[in-house]
């Protein structure tokens, strides 16, 4: 090494001197060197043009750095969040969300720069808890269709694999059988938190589990959202208004809920879930959204789940009497599931936290609903009155002014248009296949 240095730097080749480098350098008198006043190391560097090389190297590195840096001011974090190719389907609101994930979680450091080649994300990664259920599976269909990578977490208590089986094999879809009461760590950009039994039959089956799902499950999902900097949407319910004293219900109404009744595990559970969601927003700066969903119906609802639309449809198809609880004058509003999914997605992508009522303001008494079911399925279906259940609210109708104004959303599908779509699905599931269904229909 020493001899090589001597060769390149000196006037003579190593062969010219009999001794090593030390001898060579000491052979020249110091006084004969230029820049003799400099220390020896600096003199050597100057003689070898080292500063020039260093300067060229620095210029080269600077040029490389400029070329590799992400374009646009301060948007270095955008690439991993918005690298989707599905520009048209995702609205401008989504772009807004994509731009600054750190803004909704300032405690979290997002590393600027490009994701290494081959690790670049394709679209949004979305977690849907309860995604194998009725509403969740329709939401998953829409998210997958727009190009997102969707992870469903569901314990299949009321959900069914069949609801999402058509996505099996799609690399953009994953399903994890997991109970949200237990923590889980996933990397996603958005969390739609739906996991919770929604029908009275199911949520009353194990009330302690229901409230645990609402409280501990929601805490776990909020904790996850905080940790990974994801946006979180809670599917709350019109049940937070209890047996309302105000009609129709506006989001500012605080409700009239029995805290110790048989429905409280659900009603109070959802109210607590809303509280937790807002506390995470205020305390941890989490980006949150809250939807208060009113009665929704459509294909893939659980048959015999005690919800009035599915009850009536299943009963009419099976030629059983339609059971009406109480005098049948209590009112409900019914929204078709595709309207709800549209509202949920607009809420998630939009700028407003909510809560937002998402429901169809068209109000029906139970007897009017029974009449629509008779008209759609079997005009001869009988109605049977039963004693009303405890805490059954008398009136329920959403005021959706806020959703109209801030989300630009309102339901589109009328009950008489949506019901036949649900009937086709129920007929298939109750009678097995189309042939049987046709036979059953002919026999009516
Ligand atoms: N459908 C409606 O009319 C309506 C009205 C108001 C609110 N909501 C809310 O919307 C959400 C979805 O309702 P839905 O009608 O699709 O109900 P659903 O029962 O069909 O779906 C709920 C899903 O959550 C899953 N789940 C339940 N507990 C879980 C747990 N501990 N861990 C993991 N998964 C769990 C179930 O297996 C199911 O797949 C619920 O949060 C519900 O409260 C629905």
The string of DSSP letters for 5-57 reads: HHHHHSSS-GGGSSS-HHHHHHHS-GGGSTTTTS-HHHHHHHHTTHHHHHHHH
In whole numbers, what is the pLDDT of the chain averaged over residues? 81
Report which ligand 1 atom has the smallest distance to the Cα of 159. 39
| Ligand 1 mutation pick, 132, 133, 266, 291, max ligand atoms within 8 A of CB | 133
The domain that holds 176 is classified in CATH as 3.40.50.720
**Average pLDDT for residues 190-202, to the nearest whole number?**
95
Rounded to the nearest angstrom, the distance between the alpha carbon of 425 and the centre of ligand 1 is 19
Highest average pLDDT, of 53-62, 165-174, 368-377, comes from 165-174
The verdict on residue 280 lying in a domain is yes
The reply to whether 8 falls in a domain is: no
Res. 266: pLDDT tops 50? yes
Residue 433 has pLDDT above 60, yes or no: no
Residue 284 within any structural domain of the chain: yes
Give the C-alpha separation, 24 to 7, whole Å.
10
Q: What is the atom index within ligand 1 of the atom nearest the CA of 197? A: 19
The residue whose CA is least distant from atom 30 of ligand 1 is 179
Q: What is the mean pLDDT of residues 202-216?
A: 96
d(CA 76, CA 300): 42
Q: Whose CA is nearest to atom 19 of ligand 1?
A: 197
Of the two residues 241 and 56, the one the predictor is more confident about is: 241
266 in active site: yes
Assess if residue 49 is contained within a domain: no
Q: Which numbered atom of ligand 1 lies nearest the CA of 181?
A: 31
**Mean local confidence (pLDDT), 202-210:** 94
What pairing do the DSSP bridges indicate for beta strands 331-333 and 356-358?
Answer: unpaired
pLDDT at 387: 83
Residue 32 falls inside a structural domain:
no
pLDDT band at 87; cut points 50, 70, 90: very low
Q: Specify whether the CB–CB gap between 220 and 333 falls below 8 A.
A: no
DSSP 256: B
- In a domain, residue 67? The reply is no
In the predicted structure, residue 264 carries a pLDDT above the cut 50: yes
Residue 4 C-beta-side C-alpha neighbours within 13 Å: 1
Q: 51-65, 115-129, 238-252: lowest mean pLDDT where?
A: 115-129
Q: Which DSSP state fits 88?
A: T
Q: Which pLDDT does position 78 carry in this prediction?
A: 32
In the chain, pLDDT over 90 holds for what percent of residues?
60
Within-domain flag for 44: no
Q: Which two tokens stand for residue 243?
A: 């047996």
Residue 97, pLDDT > 70, answer no
Which of 192, 203, 241, 266 is the catalytic position? 266
pTM (2 d.p.): 0.74
Q: Is 30 a domain residue?
A: no
Ligand 1 atom having least distance to the Cα of 213: 31
CA of 362 to the centre of ligand 1 (A): 23
Burial class (CB in 10 A: 0-12, 13-18, 19+), 292: buried
| pLDDT surpassing 70 at residue 102 | no
| Burial per residue of 332-345, b for 16 or more beta-carbon CB atoms within 10 angstroms, e otherwise | bbbbbbbbbbbbbb
Q: Give the C-alpha distances (Å, rounded to integers) separating 294 from 93, 138, 317.
A: 25, 16, 25
The answer, yes or no, to whether the previous bond of 248 is cis (omega within 30 of 0) is yes
pLDDT at residue 62 tops 50: yes
Range with lowest mean pLDDT among 186-200, 353-367, 393-407: 393-407
The predicted structure's pLDDT at residue 321: 94
Q: Whose CA is nearest to atom 26 of ligand 1?
A: 195
How many A from CA of 41 to the centre of ligand 1?
Answer: 75
Q: How confident is the model at residue 395 (pLDDT cuts 50, 70, 90)?
A: confident
Question: Residue 69 above 60 pLDDT?
Answer: no
Q: What is the whole-number distance in angstroms between the Cα of residue 1 and the centre of ligand 1?
A: 74
- Of the ranges 163-172, 300-309, 421-430, which one carries the lowest mean pLDDT score? 300-309
Of 385, 379, 387, the closest CA to residue 319 belongs to: 379
From atom 1 of ligand 1, which residue's Cα is the shortest distance away?
Answer: 296
Of 82-86, 128-132, 159-163, 187-191, minimum mean pLDDT range: 82-86
Count the domains in the chain: 1
Give residue 154 CA to ligand 1 midpoint distance, Å. Answer: 9
> Stretch 299-316: mean pLDDT, rounded?
91
Cis ω before 355 (30° cut-off from 0)? yes
8-state DSSP, 303: T
Q: Which of 249, 253, 292 is nearest to 273 (CA)?
A: 292
pLDDT of residue 317 exceeding 50, the answer is yes
Query: From CA 318, how far away is CA 37, in angstroms rounded?
Result: 107
Cβ contacts of 63 within 8 Å, gap of 6 or more = none
Cα 194 to middle of ligand 1, angstroms? 5
Q: Which pLDDT belongs to residue 175? A: 98
Given a cut of 70, whether residue 329 has pLDDT beyond it is yes
CA 287 to CA 272: how far, in whole Å? 18
Which ligand 1 atom sits closest to the C-alpha of 163? 39
Give the alpha-carbon dihedral of 193, 194, 195, 200, to 10 degrees. 150
Average pLDDT in the 361-365 region? 90
107 vs 240: which has the higher pLDDT: 240
Strands (E) located in 112-250: 125-129, 149-154, 173-177, 190-193, 231-237
Compute φ and ψ for 419, nearest 5 degrees.
-60, -45
Higher pLDDT, 385 or 2: 385
Return the higher-pLDDT residue of 121 and 104. Answer: 121
The average pLDDT across 420-442 equals 72
Q: Which range of residues forms the domain containing residue 308?
A: 78-442
pLDDT of residue 68: 61
Task: Of 3-12, 62-71, 95-104, give the range with the top mean pLDDT.
Answer: 62-71
Ligand 1, residues at Cβ distance < 6 Å: 129-130, 132-136, 154-159, 179-181, 194-198, 213, 217, 235, 237, 293, 295-296, 302
């Amino acid at each position: 090494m020493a001899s090589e240095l001597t060769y390149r730097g000196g006037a003579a080749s190593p062969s010219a001197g009999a001794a090593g480098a030390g001898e060579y350098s000491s052979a020249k008198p110091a006084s004969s060197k230029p820049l003799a006043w400099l220390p020896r190391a600096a003199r050597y560097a100057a003689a070898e043009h080292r500063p020039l090389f260093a300067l060229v190297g620095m210029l080269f590195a600077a040029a490389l750095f400029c070329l590799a840096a992400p374009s646009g001011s301060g948007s270095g974090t955008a690439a991993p969040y918005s690298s989707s190719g599905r520009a048209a389907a995702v609205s401008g609101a989504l772009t807004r969300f994509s731009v600054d994930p750190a803004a909704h979680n300032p405690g979290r450091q997002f590393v600027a720069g490009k994701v290494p080649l081959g690790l670049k994300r394709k679209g949004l990664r979305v977690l849907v808890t309860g995604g194998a259920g009725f509403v969740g599976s329709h939401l998953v269909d829409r998210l997958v269709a727009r190009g997102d990578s969707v992870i469903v977490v569901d314990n299949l208590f009321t959900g069914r694999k069949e609801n999402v089986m058509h996505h099996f094999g799609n690399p953009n879809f994953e399903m994890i059988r997991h109970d949200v009461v237990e923590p889980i760590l996933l990397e996603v950009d958005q969390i739609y938190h739906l996991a919770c039994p929604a029908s009275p039959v199911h949520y009353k089956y194990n009330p302690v589990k229901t409230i645990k799902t609402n409280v501990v499950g929601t805490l776990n999902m909020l904790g996850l959202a905080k940790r990974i900097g994801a946006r979180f949407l809670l599917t709350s319910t019109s049940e937070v208004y209890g047996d309302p004293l105000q009609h129709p219900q506006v989001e500012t109404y605080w409700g009239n809920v029995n805290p110790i009744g048989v429905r409280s595990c659900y009603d109070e559970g959802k109210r607590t879930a809303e509280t937790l969601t807002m506390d995470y927003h205020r305390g941890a700066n989490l980006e949150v959204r809250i939807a208060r969903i009113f009665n929704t119906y459509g294909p893939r609802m659980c048959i015999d789940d005690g919800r009035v639309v599915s009850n009536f449809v299943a009963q009419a198809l099976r030629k059983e009497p339609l059971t009406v609880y109480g005098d049948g004058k209590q009112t409900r509003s019914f929204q078709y599931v595709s309207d709800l999914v549209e509202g949920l997605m607009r809420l998630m992508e939009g700028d407003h936290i909510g809560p937002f009522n998402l429901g169809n303001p068209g109000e029906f008494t139970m007897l009017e609903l029974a009449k629509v079911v008779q008209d759609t399925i079997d005009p001869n279906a009988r109605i049977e009155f039963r004693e009303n259940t405890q805490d059954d609210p008398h009136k329920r109708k959403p005021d959706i002014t806020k959703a109209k104004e801030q989300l630009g959303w309102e339901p589109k599908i009328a009950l008489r248009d949506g019901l036949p779509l649900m009937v086709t699905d129920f007929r298939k599931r109750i009678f097995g296949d189309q042939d049987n269904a046709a036979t059953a229909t002919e026999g009516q």
